[in-house]
Chain A
Amino acid sequence: MQHIRNFCIIAHIDHGKSTLADRLLQQTNTVKEREFQNQVLDSMDLEREKGITIKSHAVQMQYEQAGKQYTLNLIDTPGHVDFSYEVSRSIAACEGALLVVDATQGIQAQTISNLYLAIENDLDIIPVLNKMDMPSAEPEEVSEQIIDLLGCDKEDILQVSAKTGEGIENVLNAIIHKIRPPEGDENAPLQALIFDSFFNPFRGIIAYFRIMNGQIHKDDFVKFIATGKEYHADEIGILSLSREPRNTLKAGNVGYIISGIKTAKEVKVGDTITHVERPSKESIEGFKEIKPMVFAGIYPVDADDYEELRSSLEKLQLNDASLSYEPESSMALGFGFRCGFLGLLHMEIIQERLDREFNMDVITTVPNVSYKIYTTKKEVLDVHNPSGMPPLNLIERIEEPYIIAQIITKTEYIGAIMKLCLDKRGMLKSQIYLTSNRIEITFELPLGEIVFDFYDKLKSCSKGYASFDYHINDYKPSKLAKLDILLNGDPVDALSTLIHVDNAYSFGRRMCEKLKELIPRQQFDIAIQAAIGSKIIARETVKAVRKDVTAKCYGGDISRKRKLLEKQKKGKKRMRQIGNVEVPQSAFLAVLKID
């Protein structure tokens, strides 16, 4: 155990986490030069493009120093608040962290909240200035910032270039000498923390764990404490670049287990693995059941693709347990699914994966959070779909989920951020100055307010210099209304939203305005109305086309014009017929972006 080091890398997007990881793998000969395809760790395309490691991975390296053989486990962490729980579990599996900062950019706010998480978990932090090969590097300035934040000595900060490989030795050195070896009792009952899981089409679910105490052997009978399920350990092993089976793994190490588990739902990040015989009495602390918090309908653009969409979602769920879905139908959009996500980014990722990996064209409806509705019959309903709202006269009260949000930013942006949070019905809880110009603001906010455009707004009003982290707090009474959109008098269910009464009027108005922009003129006038119950709160009209004919149509014009009209016709085919109105797909999507 003395020769094991478990660490993660904390870095802002593009500061060089992946490149540095590659260098470490190279330097330790984990990857041969030949097998090297850049950035080995980010294996999903989507991650690479988004610059976010969506799913944590882990990799083990062997490194010899002064005649001693060290085992280094690098545990990768995702980088977005939607996955903050996963990050916290990855951090809990480590003793140390590399804080990688781009020397040309300086420390970015988003890094700070993960860094605090690491400090809270008592991790040994190794600050690393990356991109030192670049002429624009400002090591002095950026070192100041790091010292401010960590209270470390200047000499502790390593200067490297992940690109040229300069200084990588020092990083390995620091990992060995500055990060403490894991502690734990090899002879105690087994306690292993699950920090990630992965779906493999041939082997089922592969869970990644860190052994805190005890040991695990191939063919052991194990139990997952939170789910209470028991399995046979068909295969255990370590994660080098590929899986390498082992017969035994002991406290302090990181590994994987394959035990014939078919669906991701059975493996919960944060759960503790122990033995069926001689089980550990306690589980590792910090386990939380993660529940989808944001819900939206997903419909196939082409109704014929419904079954294909179902099987695509099924496959996605195999390796993404936090995705949930159930069938629903809409008058406007036909048959589809109500899906639950961890947050908006998660929703975007699912949409993109449907598109890229399954080639599915989908329409996503306005997202909603889950509300608790107390009826006059003393029932409590979980409603996360406007159509699930009982009639007003049966509702006694409604409660909505609130979050505690921590925002760390520079003092100059306080004003703008305060205003944003207050506009979103937030309540200020505390303001703490971390340094003379860095502040932590804590707000209590309705979750429903951040599912729309909160991130984008926060980013723009703080020029990107604000880190945001949240956890669900509790439910509180809410004045909720169901806002309907009507086209020529017909309600369009796919455009209905649940929204706080105070926001309903302006939202309804903006919705009508937006739809007016997006719905093309047709053969007759189209009335767009926003209504709460039977009360119309906003109205716009799309005037009928008055005229649509080009002047000339001779030899040369014919091809050109045919192509133009063919394009129009294609656009029409992709429209949804609602009553007698043709609504383009873009209308369903654009309401998500309403300002």
Chain B
Amino acid sequence: MAGIYIHIPFCLQKCSYCNFYSESDISLKDKLINTLLTEIKLRASYLNNETVRTIYFGGGTPTLLLPNEIQQMIDAVFSLFQLSDEIEITLEANPNNLTEEYIKQLSATAINRLSIGIQSFYDNDLQTLGRIHTAKQAEESILLAQKYHFNNLSIDLMYGFPGLTLEKWKYNLNKIKNIQHISCYQLTLEKKSLLYQKIKNGILLSTPEDEIIEQYHYLISFAKKHHFIHYETSNFCQENFESKHNTSYWQDALYLGIGPSAHSYNRESRQWNISDNKAYITFFENLLSSEDYDLKGENVVFEKEILTTDMRFNEYIMTSLRTIWGCSLDYIQQHFGKSYLKHLRQQLSNIQPDFYILSPSSLRLTEKGNLFADYIAASLFV
């Protein structure tokens, strides 16, 4: 089972917290779409004929593309890969782009899951976060998506950012209690972001750790109350509405990343395309028109990291411990070997017993342990 990620590297306005690769100049949009199509074709063999179970359009802002442009890429994938019958095709959507007309056209494409980046239902928060949309657009986009029968809907919210009080957080969450899937991200202060600068310069006040924990705890109890399954650190869903695509990242599945800055993984190595639209486009143009370029050659547009067994083990621990399923001891034994299992058991002795549950088949973190997932993962690394 494998997944395909397609990165759309444009945002009309950069959000203050964001460190993902995107450009505000969209004049290269058409060329880029062509290049994405080229890359899909040229790298069709990357997944070793494994069945593609998910396609994910992420960004950047995929909704800057027209629905038929998106469909074009889906078609390309359909024509080149083995597909699962229950393929999940997600589109990350920004509320301001989700006009009725747009959603209507989307509903005619093969997209069957929509992930809307709401972040907050307060205009002043949206300003702090540098979002391009308004609270009103946020609410309307959800209603429209539902109206056009997107019934596998996901909402992104953020917490722990300057200005978000517990009261506002409660309000935000209660707005989406009927949604199938929610991702609630605690703010990660990226060093390169505007928000970081503002906090560093004292223009904005960072939220105290205690308040963030309070917001997290509220999130947990909210999820319980409304029967969400807390299946990954930041992800919650109604039964059977897990994001298949993201889950595969945490379960050591293969994925092919298309587009600038996209990452691919085939268990032997991870590689990532250059974060530069122009260079990305030029590379594939040259590749098509000359013989000098080679996907395997020296002047490629991606960087690559060969993964040792130790590295893969570490990644597996790091990602799987974040999920409700934890890490599978059978999987470790099969894919890494007995010695890794032994190592894991030994290292566990340094972890507080109420942080984890060790069953014969898996290691999982408790609710308390969840708060220390990184610390625990690092302790269990080889």
A552 lies within 8 A of chain B by Cβ: yes
CB neighbours (8 Å) of B322 from chain A are 549, 553
B35 lies within 8 A of chain A by Cβ: no
CB distance from B117 to the nearest CB of A (A): 13
B181 lies within 8 A of chain A by Cβ: no
CB neighbours (8 Å) of B246 from chain A are 554
Known: A565-B377, A566-B314. A549 touches B371 (CB 8 A): yes
Known: A551-B186, A551-B187, A569-B381. A559 touches B263 (CB 8 A): yes
Known: A545-B375, A572-B378. A551 touches B233 (CB 8 A): yes
Q: How far is the CA of A554 from the CA of B20 in the complex (A)?
A: 12
The reply to whether B374 and A548 form a contact with Cβ atoms under 8 Å apart is yes
CB neighbours (8 Å) of A545 from chain B are 372, 375
CB neighbours (8 Å) of A550 from chain B are 188, 374
Q: How far is the CA of A562 from the CA of B374 in the complex (A)?
A: 10
Q: Tell me the residues in window 250-274 of chain B with beta carbons closer than 8 Å to chain A beta carbons.
A: 250, 255, 257, 261-265, 270, 272
Q: Which of B265, B305, B351, B374 is close to A549, meaning CB atoms less than 8 Å apart?
A: B374
Q: Which residue of B lies closest to A558 (CB)?
A: B315
CB neighbours (8 Å) of A569 from chain B are 378-379, 381
A436 lies within 8 A of chain B by Cβ: no
B210 lies within 8 A of chain A by Cβ: yes
Q: How far is the CA of A549 from the CA of B234 in the complex (A)?
A: 10
B318 lies within 8 A of chain A by Cβ: yes
Q: Which of A548, A553, A561 is close to B250, meaning CB atoms less than 8 Å apart?
A: A553
CB neighbours (8 Å) of B187 from chain A are 551
Q: Which of B188, B233, B249, B261 is close to A558, meaning CB atoms less than 8 Å apart?
A: B249
Known: A551-B187, A555-B249. A565 touches B373 (CB 8 A): no
Q: How far is the CA of A184 from the CA of B351 in the complex (A)?
A: 77
The reply to whether A558 and B319 form a contact with Cβ atoms under 8 Å apart is yes
Q: How far is the CA of A569 from the CA of B305 in the complex (A)?
A: 20
Q: Which of B249, B375, B381 is close to A523, meaning CB atoms less than 8 Å apart?
A: B375
Known: A547-B216, A556-B261. A565 touches B272 (CB 8 A): no
Q: Which residue of A lies closest to B255 (CB)?
A: A555
CB neighbours (8 Å) of A546 from chain B are 209-210, 213, 371
A568 lies within 8 A of chain B by Cβ: yes
CB distance from B110 to the nearest CB of A (A): 22
B87 lies within 8 A of chain A by Cβ: no
The reply to whether A548 and B375 form a contact with Cβ atoms under 8 Å apart is yes
Proximity string of chain B (162-201) to chain A, C-beta cutoff 8 Å, 1 when within and 0 when not: 0000000000000000000000011110000000000000
CB distance from A582 to the nearest CB of B (A): 9
Proximity string of chain B (213-249) to chain A, C-beta cutoff 8 Å, 1 when within and 0 when not: 1001000000000000000011000000000001001
Q: How far is the CA of A414 from the CA of B129 in the complex (A)?
A: 58
Residue of B212, B213, B234, B374 most packed against chain A (CB within 10 A): B374
The reply to whether A565 and B263 form a contact with Cβ atoms under 8 Å apart is no
CB neighbours (8 Å) of B319 from chain A are 553, 558
Pair count A-B, CB < 8 A: 95
CB neighbours (8 Å) of B352 from chain A are 523-524
The reply to whether A553 and B188 form a contact with Cβ atoms under 8 Å apart is no
The reply to whether B185 and A552 form a contact with Cβ atoms under 8 Å apart is yes
The reply to whether A549 and B314 form a contact with Cβ atoms under 8 Å apart is no
Q: How far is the CA of A550 from the CA of B188 in the complex (A)?
A: 7
CB distance from A45 to the nearest CB of B (A): 36
The reply to whether A553 and B318 form a contact with Cβ atoms under 8 Å apart is yes
CB neighbours (8 Å) of A562 from chain B are 311, 314-315, 318
The reply to whether B305 and A559 form a contact with Cβ atoms under 8 Å apart is yes
In the complex, how many residues of chain B place their beta carbon closer than 8 angstroms to a beta carbon of chain A?
44
B10 lies within 8 A of chain A by Cβ: no
Q: Which residue of A lies closest to B272 (CB)?
A: A556
B5 lies within 8 A of chain A by Cβ: yes
CB neighbours (8 Å) of B250 from chain A are 553
CB distance from B239 to the nearest CB of A (A): 23
Q: Which of A523, A551, A556, A572 is close to B372, meaning CB atoms less than 8 Å apart?
A: A523
Q: Tell me the residues in window 332-382 of chain B with beta carbons closer than 8 Å to chain A beta carbons.
A: 351-352, 355, 370-375, 377-379, 381
CB distance from A573 to the nearest CB of B (A): 10
CB neighbours (8 Å) of A523 from chain B are 351-352, 355, 372, 375
CB neighbours (8 Å) of B315 from chain A are 558, 562
CB distance from A548 to the nearest CB of B (A): 4
CB neighbours (8 Å) of A556 from chain B are 261-263, 272
Q: How far is the CA of A562 from the CA of B317 in the complex (A)?
A: 10
Known: A555-B265, A559-B270. A565 touches B314 (CB 8 A): yes
The reply to whether A549 and B318 form a contact with Cβ atoms under 8 Å apart is no
Q: Tell me the residues in window 560-577 of chain A with beta carbons closer than 8 Å to chain B beta carbons.
A: 561-562, 565-566, 568-569, 572
The reply to whether A552 and B318 form a contact with Cβ atoms under 8 Å apart is no
The reply to whether A565 and B233 form a contact with Cβ atoms under 8 Å apart is no
CB distance from A211 to the nearest CB of B (A): 66
Q: Which residue of B lies closest to A573 (CB)?
A: B381
The reply to whether B381 and A565 form a contact with Cβ atoms under 8 Å apart is yes
Residue of A524, A546, A553, A572 most packed against chain B (CB within 10 A): A553
The reply to whether B318 and A548 form a contact with Cβ atoms under 8 Å apart is no
Known: A559-B270, A561-B318. A551 touches B262 (CB 8 A): no
The reply to whether B311 and A548 form a contact with Cβ atoms under 8 Å apart is no
Residue of B261, B311, B378 most packed against chain A (CB within 10 A): B378
Known: A553-B233, A555-B262, A555-B265. A547 touches B378 (CB 8 A): no
CB distance from B306 to the nearest CB of A (A): 12
CB neighbours (8 Å) of A558 from chain B are 249, 263, 265, 270, 315, 318-319
The reply to whether B305 and A551 form a contact with Cβ atoms under 8 Å apart is no
CB neighbours (8 Å) of A551 from chain B are 185-188, 233-234
The reply to whether A548 and B314 form a contact with Cβ atoms under 8 Å apart is no
Q: How far is the CA of A551 from the CA of B233 in the complex (A)?
A: 7
Residue of B187, B257, B261, B270 most packed against chain A (CB within 10 A): B270
Q: Which residue of A lies closest to B382 (CB)?
A: A569
CB neighbours (8 Å) of A524 from chain B are 352
CB distance from B158 to the nearest CB of A (A): 8
CB neighbours (8 Å) of A568 from chain B are 374, 378
CB distance from A126 to the nearest CB of B (A): 59
CB neighbours (8 Å) of B374 from chain A are 548-550, 561, 565, 568
CB neighbours (8 Å) of A552 from chain B are 185, 188, 234
Q: How far is the CA of A553 from the CA of B322 in the complex (A)?
A: 9
Proximity string of chain B (1-27) to chain A, C-beta cutoff 8 Å, 1 when within and 0 when not: 000010000000000000000000000
CB neighbours (8 Å) of A553 from chain B are 233, 249-250, 318-319, 322
Q: How far is the CA of A562 from the CA of B263 in the complex (A)?
A: 15
Q: How far is the CA of A546 from the CA of B375 in the complex (A)?
A: 11
Q: How far is the CA of A462 from the CA of B255 in the complex (A)?
A: 65
Q: Which of B249, B305, B372 is close to A554, meaning CB atoms less than 8 Å apart?
A: B249
Known: A523-B372, A562-B311. A555 touches B234 (CB 8 A): no
Q: How far is the CA of A524 from the CA of B257 in the complex (A)?
A: 41
CB distance from B54 to the nearest CB of A (A): 12
Q: How far is the CA of A550 from the CA of B212 in the complex (A)?
A: 13
Apart from A523-B355, A566-B381, list 18 A-B contacts with CB within 8 A.
A546-B209, A546-B213, A547-B371, A548-B371, A548-B375, A549-B186, A549-B233, A551-B187, A552-B185, A553-B250, A555-B5, A555-B263, A555-B265, A558-B263, A558-B318, A562-B311, A562-B314, A568-B374
Q: List 30 A-B contacts (CB under 8 A).
A: A523-B352, A523-B355, A523-B372, A524-B352, A546-B213, A547-B216, A547-B372, A548-B373, A548-B374, A549-B186, A549-B322, A549-B371, A550-B188, A551-B185, A552-B185, A552-B234, A553-B249, A555-B5, A555-B255, A555-B262, A555-B265, A558-B319, A561-B374, A562-B311, A565-B377, A566-B381, A568-B374, A569-B378, A569-B381, A572-B378
Closest 6 CB pairs of A and B: A555-B263, A551-B185, A565-B378, A549-B373, A568-B378, A548-B375
B residues at A contact (CB < 8 Å): 5, 185-188, 209-210, 212-213, 216, 233-234, 246, 249-250, 255, 257, 261-265, 270, 272, 305, 311, 314-315, 318-319, 322, 351-352, 355, 370-375, 377-379, 381
A residues at B contact (CB < 8 Å): 523-524, 545-556, 558-559, 561-562, 565-566, 568-569, 572
